[in-house]
Structure 1
Amino acid sequence: MSDLVLAAGCVLWRRSPDGDGMEICLVHRPRYDDWSFPKGKLKRGETALEAALREVLEETGHRCVPGAALPTALYTANGRPKEVSYWAAEATDGMFVANDEVDRLEWLSPAVARARLSRPGDRIQLDAFLRTGPADSGPSRD
């Protein structure tokens, strides 16, 4: 399917600063006025996992360690089919700087993140992450 748009992203998480649980990273894209996981289109020659890690760094300013593969999202965007591969990823270091593509970033409890997601379909990846938990490390596909 030549019209298929390939993209990748991560459910980026960190341990809560207070040590009680974890927080999920959501980014706000002013172009679409939506809240989503960091994600973006694959560049030529790039694997989905490489793209996911690059997009996390570009959109959040954070480096991360990829974990378990999460369900792939399939939907139509701008009249074209889109396939987005996802991984769980733990944030390691970095700092967010607002830019034209992403103007806000928030670290939220899983319940608040689930409610804030603009696209209901994104809850599939969050729910899968919460079922497997952050303990499952190491990428399982690329």
Structure 2
Amino acid sequence: MSGLVLAAGCVLWRRSPDGGTEICLVHRPRYDDWSFPKGKLKRGETPLEAALREVLEETGHHCVPGAALPTALYTANGRPKEVSYWAAEEAGGAFEPNDEVDRLAWLTPASARARLTRPGDRVQLDAFLRTGPTDTDPSDG
């Protein structure tokens, strides 16, 4: 595909104090949208490396990658875009607003689903919820 934009991101999650799951969404003022942390690959970077870098840059949080999630394919600014996603458990850090992301929210899965600006992003959230918040593959071993 000519002009294909490659990007990667994560459905970043953590355990809530009550034992449930919270999903991280970021607000980008440039687009006035709520989405998962994601961004374009840099030259020589693998999609997973880009996803982990983008999570850290946009949320201030480190994470542990888990299962691969469905890839998003859509058109952005007239160009085809392919975004690879992983589930990733939050592993420490702190958010500080910046030019790219001015707000971060930890939400229940239902609230995250309702707040996502792009309906297509619900595909990754639904896949994450089907597989469950774990980095353990039962087929290992």
TM-score range, shorter chain: over 0.9
Amino acid corresponding to residue 55 of structure 1 in structure 2: E
**CA RMSD, 1 decimal:** 0.9
Asked if structure 1 preserves the Cα contact closer than 8 Å seen for 2:65 and 2:135, the reply is no
Counterpart of 2:92 in structure 1 is 93
Q: Which runs of 5+ in 2 are unaligned?
A: none
Asked if structure 1 preserves the Cα contact closer than 8 Å seen for 2:6 and 2:82, the reply is yes
Shift of 1:136: 3.6
Counterpart of 2:71 in structure 1 is 72
User: Does residue 14 of the first structure (1) align with residue 14 of the second (2)?
Assistant: yes
Alpha-carbon distance in structure 1 between the residues aligned to 2:52 and 2:77: 24
Shift of 1:71: 0.1
Identical counterparts, % of pairs: 85
Counterpart of 2:28 in structure 1 is 29
Shift of 1:20: 2.6
Alpha-carbon distance in structure 2 between the residues aligned to 1:125 and 1:42: 19
Alpha-carbon distance in structure 2 between the residues aligned to 1:31 and 1:116: 17
Alpha-carbon distance in structure 2 between the residues aligned to 1:57 and 1:19: 25
User: Does residue 38 of the first structure (1) align with residue 37 of the second (2)?
Assistant: yes
Residue correspondence of structure 1 range 107-122 to structure 2 within 5 A:
107-122=106-121
Asked if structure 1 preserves the Cα contact closer than 8 Å seen for 2:38 and 2:51, the reply is yes
Which ranges of 4 or more aligned residues in structure 1 deviate by more than 6 Å?
none
Counterpart of 1:102 in structure 2 is 101
What is the TM-score normalised by the length of structure 2? Answer: 0.95
Aligned length, in residue pairs:
137
Asked if structure 2 preserves the Cα contact closer than 8 Å seen for 1:29 and 1:35, the reply is yes
What is the TM-score normalised by the length of structure 1? Answer: 0.94
Distance 1:137 1:2, change over 3 A: farther
SS of 1:32's equivalent in the other structure is coil
Amino acid corresponding to residue 113 of structure 1 in structure 2: A
SS of 1:3's equivalent in the other structure is coil
Asked if structure 2 preserves the Cα contact closer than 8 Å seen for 1:66 and 1:137, the reply is no
